[in-house]
A = this chain, B = another copy of it.
Amino acid sequence: MIKQPLKYIKIFATGGTFDKEFNEINGELYFKETNLFKLLELGRSKIDVKIETLMMIDSLKMTDRERLYILEKCKKEKTNQIIITHGTDTMVNTAKVVANEIKDKIIIFTGAMIPIKFGSSDGLFNLGSALSFSQVLDPGVYITMNGKYFHWDNVQKNKKLGIFEKIN
């Protein structure tokens, strides 16, 4: 295991189911602000983490413009441990854009199948998982879901089952 120089872990929030909330005025799901701060407090996390919200959108509405912005932010980021919370539908697409240009950082995409604000969310589990993998994996771009980590180029979302799985 190659020990990474532990400085801090950067978390970029981009939206997705993870941060969806229920708007009680119109009865629709919407984005307010990231729930990451609350989750880290809930997990009693003592990891040195910096959180930055890049956008708050559905990953199905993400275009090249947003992906290039995420890439740009990852490039400029000084720490080499980055977690990106992202909608699961196009998580792999964004991972590809990032992986094509960045080779020397640990970049982990994670998200949730159920919004944090629901009682039955998987978000806290996934965040604990992503934070842990970000401390010990080799540089590369990964997806962390369902308790596992996947290399960005060997994973797909099984949309029928709602889980991530290896391609080969």
- A43-B147 in contact (CB<8A): yes
Count residues of chain A with CB under 8 A from any CB of chain B. Answer: 54
Question: In the assembled complex, which residues on chain B have CB atoms less than 8 Å from the CB atom of A113?
Answer: 24, 44
A121 CA / B122 CA spacing, docked (Å): 14
A25 at the interface (CB under 8 A from B): yes
- B22-A27 in contact (CB<8A): no
Question: In the assembled complex, which residues on chain B have CB atoms less than 8 Å from the CB atom of A114?
Answer: 22, 24
Specify how many copies of this chain sit in the oligomer: 4
Which residue of chain B has its CB nearest to the CB of A46?
Answer: B146
- A146-B1 in contact (CB<8A): no
- A147-B45 in contact (CB<8A): yes
- B-facing residues in A64-82 (Cβ within 8 Å): none
From B27, B45, B122, B129, contact of A17 by CB (8 A): B27
What 0/1 pattern do residues 96 to 134 of A give for CB contact below 8 A with B?
A: 000000000000000001110111111011111111110
A2 at the interface (CB under 8 A from B): yes
A50 at the interface (CB under 8 A from B): no
From B131, B138, B146, contact of A44 by CB (8 A): B146
Question: In the assembled complex, which residues on chain B have CB atoms less than 8 Å from the CB atom of A44?
Answer: 113, 122, 125, 145-146, 162-163
- A146-B47 in contact (CB<8A): yes
- B-facing residues in A18-61 (Cβ within 8 Å): 20, 22, 24-25, 27-29, 39-40, 42-47, 58
From B125, B138, B148, contact of A125 by CB (8 A): B125
What 0/1 pattern do residues 131 to 142 of A give for CB contact below 8 A with B?
A: 111011110000
A85 at the interface (CB under 8 A from B): no
